[in-house]
Amino acid sequence: MKLLIVDDEIYIVRALQKNIAWNEMDIDHIYSAFNVEKAKEILQKEEIDIIITDIEMPRTSGLDLLEWIRESGYTCKAVCLTCHDEFKYAQRAMRCQVDDYILKPIDFQKLREIVEGLVLKIKKERLDKKEQERGGLWKRNKRKVETDFWKELLLSKTTSDLEKLSQEASYIGIEWDYNQQFQLILFSVKKICKRKQEWEESTGLMQYILDNIAKETYLTEKTKNMSGWIDDSHLWVIVPVENTIDLEEKMKKYLDSCERIAGAKMVAYTDEICYGEELYLSYIKLMQLDRENVSLESGIFEEGRSVEDKDQWEMFYHKMRRLFHEKNFPEIKNLVEQSWSPAPYIQLKELILNVCKCEYEIYRFLEENSISEEMFWDEELLGLLEQALHSSAKYVEFLKKSVCKIERIYQSKKEEKGVILEIQEYIKKHVEERISREEIAKAVNFSVDYISKIYKKETGESLSEYIMEQKIEQAKEWIQQENDTIGNIATKLGYSSFSYFSEVFRRFTGVLPSEYKRICRTE
């Protein structure tokens, strides 16, 4: 294939020529132009397959060049280079049929991936054209008809009529043998670990790639139509029994290839060898295994794996409760790490029960420590809780983040309680003085608003109420000693108004100071 690079900055052209191994992508001719005029000359002489052009060039822009290319009837693929984060030329570029664009400074790996995709498209377009020219369109339709036949065997319950199956197979040119046996493999896409954007933009293309790899791995030219996609996540392959030699090794290589090439982590499920009319039962069984698989995210699923002893989980939550009671958060984290990393095999029902037990222990701790649910739950934890019901890995993540959140809340409340004690000690120590919130705030090194807010939240009463309460308690003690007059006591406690002192005293004790003094004498 032939590639043309157009940019008025020579060092960029040189960098593109040197930093990308074009020959590895079947591009064997690289042309360069430092202006639009030179680019037009090359396009008129050579059959360029892909053009990479800068947009902002002096005199004539890259988009002007692309408009000329389309008007002239050239069909080369186009990638634009631009310095603008917002692609302001988008509408004009769409008219020029631009395939992609990339920002400067250029990410060479990203550009390589873009060009690789364009090379695949060109190859596919050329193949389609050749097939049409020699009647290949019918062959492709025939492949689809054959694939649909095998897919119907998986999805249809009405496969017991062997005579009817034989007729249908014969009608579309499939050799049907009653005694032929098969093994079904079901692949489930669990996670896209890289090339996520390509999956989102072109799921069909990525599935096409995975299906082709499967055909090359498991099927022969004669049986290559015995695979396909059920939905966006499940790929099936029906392997004739004679092709099942070294099947496990082939599955491992296939899973590795899918992750390396398409960035897809997949789990493979297999059933026992069966006859064609029994494939439906195999499919139902493997789909059920996939629904119940909440532990394995990649690899070969082994049916009948040993289930962990349920007593282990009871012991885990018993230890968690004890450590929560002791407020030993570091040990809780260690316990989670030891018990759940890596996440052990666990069935769906057991996972749901574990989630419920975990929620119970969390709510128990919150209640015992007077922590509201609103303080604990946030959008992230709620989202993880929902995912934890379907994935043991997400449950482990929920466990860890829940313990961290609880620790932060508890430490915060512990610090607040320490501040409360400091405030109360200061008030008791200075009860004979005029005490202001500003003085208290200065003494405990916090703002006035903060100490007022946390005091009310933690004790249920205002700071001013506590100050008056302590002054009245001191007044009661002095009145009982009968060493001073009530007026002097009010003055010593910072009250300039005797009547106001008396009113406050009555509010807290139910009687006036003089009555309280009389009561103390009679006792």
Q: What is the SS3 string spanning 457-522?
A: HHHCCCHHHHHHHHHHHHHHHHHHHCCCCHHHHHHHCCCCCHHHHHHHHHHHHCCCHHHHHHHHHH
Question: What are the φ and ψ backbone dihedral angles of 234, each rounded to 5 degrees?
Answer: -120, 120
| Cβ partners under 8 Å of residue 445, min gap 6 | none
Distances (CA, A) of 514 to 499, 504, 508: 12, 13, 14
- Cα separation, 492 vs 489, in Å, equals 5
Instruction: Determine contact, residues 187/268, Cβ cutoff 8 Å.
Output: yes
- Cα separation, 523 vs 507, in Å, equals 22
Instruction: Determine contact, residues 239/218, Cβ cutoff 8 Å.
Output: yes
Scan for tokens 């590795």, then name that residue.
256
- Cα separation, 35 vs 62, in Å, equals 9
Q: What is the pLDDT of residue 306?
A: 46
Q: What is the pLDDT of residue 440?
A: 84
Q: What is the pLDDT of residue 85?
A: 57
Question: What are the φ and ψ backbone dihedral angles of 32, each rounded to 5 degrees?
Answer: -135, 150
Instruction: Determine contact, residues 45/60, Cβ cutoff 8 Å.
Output: no
Distances (CA, A) of 128 to 117, 122, 140, 145, 211: 17, 10, 9, 18, 18
For 310, the token pair is 């349920």
Q: What is the pLDDT of residue 4?
A: 93
Q: What is the pLDDT of residue 91?
A: 56
Instruction: Determine contact, residues 361/321, Cβ cutoff 8 Å.
Output: yes
From first to last of the 523 residues of the chain, give the pLDDT tens digit.
999 999 988 899 999 988 888 988 889 899 999 999 999 999 999 999 999 998 888 888 888 888 898 888 888 999 988 876 555 555 566 667 788 888 888 889 999 999 999 999 998 888 877 766 655 555 567 788 888 888 988 887 656 677 778 888 887 778 888 888 999 999 999 888 888 888 888 888 888 889 999 988 888 888 888 999 999 899 999 999 998 888 989 999 999 999 888 889 999 999 999 988 889 999 999 998 888 888 788 888 876 554 455 667 788 888 999 999 888 999 999 998 888 877 667 778 888 888 999 999 999 998 888 788 888 999 999 999 998 888 888 898 999 999 999 999 888 877 777 888 888 888 888 888 888 888 888 887 778 888 888 888 878 888 888 888 888 888 888 888 877 888 888 888 888 888 888 898 898 888 898 888 888 877 6
For 336, the token pair is 């989670």
For 379, the token pair is 């959008």
